[in-house]
Structure formats: structure tokens, C-alpha cells
Structure 1
């Protein structure tokens, strides 16, 4: 089992090298991350975007473009479609967002002709290395699904489970987050959490998946808090996946971990035919490198 992002990087180095295509690659941090991933021998890269801008950034920052294939598509929508087409045609294994809006890339991913759509829901999975936590923490969905109902949460949970399994987790403990542990009709998150727990017990999410819900964040990540409150669950203090009730909760927890707890992270979209590396434009090249490693490992093991 991979316990930190350095281990994730090592795993990506020891497996089959994957082929990454970047949509709208004319961004310094993106080019640094892709160049670093190439140096680590994780990927072979295809850069789709404004070739003139890509070359200018590369020259100014001593990035060797000879190690990549560059495809000139200055228009953002055309760049996204070409990047996705390369994955759907088998010429690349996974795709990464460059300097374009997420909506543009997702429109290409869902395109009926060249897209990567499946019958699964698309959802965002962030993986955090938190200094005070003893293993990687998967957080979902703080990036795509705004206010998911029970059916959507099933898909979100399944996507996160698949990503955790790809990283070698045989037993996966899921915390369905709510403000309290008692089921109340006034709090839909508690009702959904209890139902997801029931479904897991019936085997809906596969072998080795233990779901607890509803459960508050402190109990999910702290054995001490669980002991003080007399709360008993195999998930208490051992959560691998935090399933949040709304996008605001996931977004808030994620940014608090990044900006207040100095946590390292990686992020991808699951549910398409291939992983989609999706990080914020504000993320540095290290976060983007870890996200490439995550996408590479998931692509190779899904």
C-alpha cells in the first residue's frame, strides 16, 4: 500500500511507462511538471496547445521540448478535443488539464464522437499527504458534483474506491461525512450515509470495502476523538476515503489541508475511460507532478 506521495512517485517509476497528453500545455508549472515526470521516467508526453507560446516558455525556462511531441492547436476547444481524441484512439493513456477552463476539457471528455464517456458518473478525487495522518487520505467530491443525491454518491464512492485500489489498498475504509452520527430526516447527509453503509455491507462496492456513516470528520481521522466520545467503528481514526455531502464541504476541507496544514496533494477525475489529471491553476509544479504520478498509476492499474 502506498502511504505517501513519494511512494506514489516511486510506484509510477517502477511500472510500465504511460503516455500522457496535455490539453493547452502553454503554462510554466504544467511544462515543469511534465518535464519532471519525463525525467523521472514516468511518462512519454504529448503537448497540445499554442506551439508558439509553449516554445517561448520552454526557451525562457530551459525546458527541453525535444523530449515531447508538440501539436499546434491554439484554440482551447480544439486543443481539448485533440488531447481527448488521442486518448480515445489509444495514442495516449491519460489526459491532463493545462491552462484552460475545466468546463472546456470536460466538454471534450464527454464529446459523443471522440470523448471518453462511460456509463459511470464523473467525479473528482483528491489524495492528500497530511503530516499528522498515518496514510494517504482520499477526499471526494470537492471539485465536480455540487449537491449529489444518493445515486450520485454511489458513483462518487465507487470512483474513489477504484482509485484507492489502483494504489494497492486491499482494504478500504470509507467515512460518509455528516455533522453527527445519528440519522435524522432533517439532515440528508446522515440518511445517505446510513444507506451507503448498508449497501457496502451487502457488497455493493466490492470486497474489502468498509463504509461507515454517518460519521463526523474528527471521528473519521482521530482514534483519540473516537475514544473520548465512546465511538466504536473500524473506520474510526482509520479512514482512507472521506466522502463529503456537498462540494462546499469537500472544497473547504481540501483547501484547509493545503493552506493551513501544508499538506501535499494530487488530483484526478475518475469515471471516464481514462483518468483526467485535474488540478487548480494555482497549484505549483510539485502538486501537478504528483497528480501526473497518480494519473499514471491509476491508468496502469484500472
Structure 2
């Protein structure tokens, strides 16, 4: 965009200018960080006055800063310097509302001085948010230039996990067998999800250790079912038995090795096997990405063959649909975006794409091979001439093997500020696999994901039964 400023001689009394801006919650977080004003009245995740409502009110000086932006960018424009400004605030704006800043030249003084009436109003009803007067020093040099492309800012909030928790809370809580929650993190995550009515936990493990962990985090176990079973292998079998008996709708890993839990899940006669392979799906909340990003398989299948990858893709699609993606876009990753017989992952990706076209994989749109850049970046896809509904828009990323998936998930976590929740799919019930590094939100989001998937599957089963 070409910008042109106005020097003192060009400006006439009575001239006006305006700009529009949509207020967003992220704007208020950026303002809080830069200004140091952490008043919770302005932060979307907080209830600043204790009335049970999260306010997200625009900070008054953020509203005032829109006048500064108008003066510095448009009227008079580049080279303008403030001499004085006063404001009187009349009403409030909130995140999601559009506002308009206006200025009108009311006087011209010596030494390049310009006086302007200033105003910011809400567009929906015209309500004045603030009025005032600015005195500025107009630019001395005429300039015409392209608008600066400033470095982008990403606010590290985890809005997708918050939305998933909100979606899960109105549902009936899912009965969840929590195996060996014998230390504060694993127990605390289960109890937090129970407090949010997402799950009804059944704790299975060493009673003494579980009670000690509860005491350590200051939580009560009153009203929560607890089955005393100190042996982890036996506790895992007990959790699986609860699912088989219909008393639990999901499993959650506590403070035990993953293979101990999965050994009970995979037991031939007493486990939770189905015709599908067990696969793991990370649900990543990546700051700056407009939707949850699913990464699979990064935890169970080490070097999957094509047949296993079919289940990996189908399981991920099924979970994505449960999370509200009507027709998930699946990008099958490789090092290249063209089929190369010397790169087996590119061949598998092309075959998976074709299998989806032929109805062997259902519910989503599958395309591959795609390199990571053109799977998630529209610009990269366009640069390479890739015309695909998935390229640049992928919601599910299917990795070639566990090494690649593990690296990708950890890069998103430690370099991009993402949080990861996760679920094992392909069993008779969803299985929540937690990590020692998981925070409370990640643990609660994993429970919410399990609850959403369980509710959809239960609903589908009920519809099938009614149809029969």
C-alpha cells in the first residue's frame, strides 16, 4: 500500500480522516505485555470483577492509541510528532467489536503546529468511546512510500483447548478409569477435569500413594471411587475390565509406563482390540494457527507400513470430526511434494490420497505427498504451484514414522509455544496418554477430547441401534 503524508502547507482547517479497527482479545494481551498494565478486566481469560463473566474490555489507552495510529499513518502521517493530547472516555468497547477513530483539523499554529479534534466511536451503534483534542507537529518533509511490513506478533494463548473444554462441559461426564494416578500431576489433571464436569474418574492404583498425592496438592478425594491395586500391571487390567464391563468409557494413563497400560489393552482375549490398529493422535494448540493441528502417529507405531497408515489416517479423521471439523483436511507428509520412488513416504502418501478418492478412507480429504511448508502455508503452496484443497490448509498432518512425528510435536511445543493433548485411537474406548511434561490445560484438554469423541461414538451407536 502506498502512503503519502501531509505537510503543514497542504493541510486545511476542516479536513477529516478516519481509520477502522476490530478489537480482538489478542490486541489486549499485547497491550498488557507492552504497557505492563495487567488489569484482568481487559484479559479474555479472566473475570476481572468477580461477577462470573469474563469481560475482555478494551483498555482505555488502547482505544486512545488508535488516535495516535491515525495521526501517525494518515493525517498528517509519517513524520508527525505529538505535542499534546487529552482524552475524555464515555463508554467501553469489548473484544469482537469494530471501532472507528476520527480526527478533524481545527487550527494551524506557528512552527508547524496543527490542532485536531479527536474521537473514537463504536461502529455498531455510533456510541462515542472517547473524545479529545490533539496538538501535533506536522511533517516538515513530503514523503511518499510503501507501508512498512512489521514483524508479526503471535500471542501465546491456547484458545483451541479452551474451546474444546467449553464444548465438553455441557456433555454428560465420561466415566474414565484413571490407572495409577500416584503422583500430583497425573492425579491433579484427573481431578481438574472432574471439577469441570468433563469426566467422572475411577482411580485405580496404590491407595496410600494416591492419598499422599492428593494431600500434596491440597485436594480432597471425597466422593471419588478409588480401587486399591498397588501392582501396575494388575491396575491396568482392572481399568481395561471396567471398560469391557461398560462401567468406564475411557482409560487414562497415570504414573506408569505406557507399555504396561497398552499391554493390558492389547491382550487378545481380555483387552480392547478392534479391527483397527492402535494409533496415537496429538492434538496441538499452536499459537497463531486458526484451528487445532492434529499430528499422527508420533507415539505408538514406529515405522508403519501402508496398511497401518490407512488406520492412522482413518483414526485421525474420526477424531477430527469429533472435534468439530466437518470434513478434515489431511496432509500426508514427506520430504517432497512429488512422488519419488526413492522416497517411500512419498509413494505411501500418493497411495493414501488415491485410496481416499476411491472410498477406502472416508470422512475427510486426503492429499499427499506434501512437504511441511506447503501443507500448512498457502504462500508456499502457491509458490510451488500446488492446487489442492489441503495444501496450505491441512488440519491433520500424517508423518512418515514415529521419529518424524515425535520431532514435529516437540518442535511445535518448544519452538512454537504449542501445547499438546493426545489420544490413542483404534481401541474399543479412547485412551488418554499423558506425559510428565503436560500442564493442567493439556491434561484437561486430553480429557475433553476423549469426552467429545466418546459422546459422538455413543450417539452414532444409539442411532444405529434405533435404525435396527
TM bracket, shorter-chain basis: over 0.9
> Does the alignment pair 1:26 with 2:182?
yes
SS in 1 for 2:248: coil
TM-score, normalised with respect to structure 2: 0.63
Greater Rg by CA: 2
Deviations 1:32-84 (CA, angstroms, capped at 9, x unpaired): 11111111111111100010011011112211101311110101101111111
In 2, Cα distance between equivalents of 1:114 and 1:44 = 23
Q: In the alignment, what sits opposite 2:379?
A: 224
CA deviation after TM superposition for structure 1 residue 20, in Å: 0.8
Are the equivalent residues in 2 in contact too, given 1:23–1:98 (CA < 8 A)? yes
Are the equivalent residues in 1 in contact too, given 2:314–2:362 (CA < 8 A)? no
SS in 2 for 1:67: coil
Are the equivalent residues in 2 in contact too, given 1:147–1:245 (CA < 8 A)? yes
In 1, Cα distance between equivalents of 2:271 and 2:167 = 28
Q: In the alignment, what sits opposite 2:82?
A: none
SS in 2 for 1:115: coil
Are the equivalent residues in 2 in contact too, given 1:143–1:251 (CA < 8 A)? yes
> Does the alignment pair 1:244 with 2:374?
no
Of 176, 179, 182, the residue aligned with 2:335 is: 179
CA deviation after TM superposition for structure 1 residue 300, in Å: 1.5
How many residues are matched? Answer: 299
SS in 2 for 1:146: coil
CA deviation after TM superposition for structure 1 residue 16, in Å: 1.9
CA deviation after TM superposition for structure 1 residue 279, in Å: 2.0
Of 135, 147, 162, the residue aligned with 2:303 is: 147
Of 414, 418, 427, the residue aligned with 1:272 is: 427
Q: In the alignment, what sits opposite 2:24?
A: none
> Does the alignment pair 1:53 with 2:209?
yes
CA deviation after TM superposition for structure 1 residue 231, in Å: 2.0
> Does the alignment pair 1:293 with 2:453?
no
Which is richer in helix?
1
> Which has the bigger relative contact order, CA under 8 A and spacing at least 6?
1
Are the equivalent residues in 2 in contact too, given 1:30–1:285 (CA < 8 A)? no
Unaligned runs of 5+ in 1: none
Aligned residues: CA RMSD = 1.2
In 2, Cα distance between equivalents of 1:54 and 1:67 = 14
Unaligned runs of 5+ in 2: 1-158, 458-468
In 1, Cα distance between equivalents of 2:219 and 2:271 = 30
Q: How does 1:55-204 map onto structure 2 within 5 Å?
A: 55-204=211-360
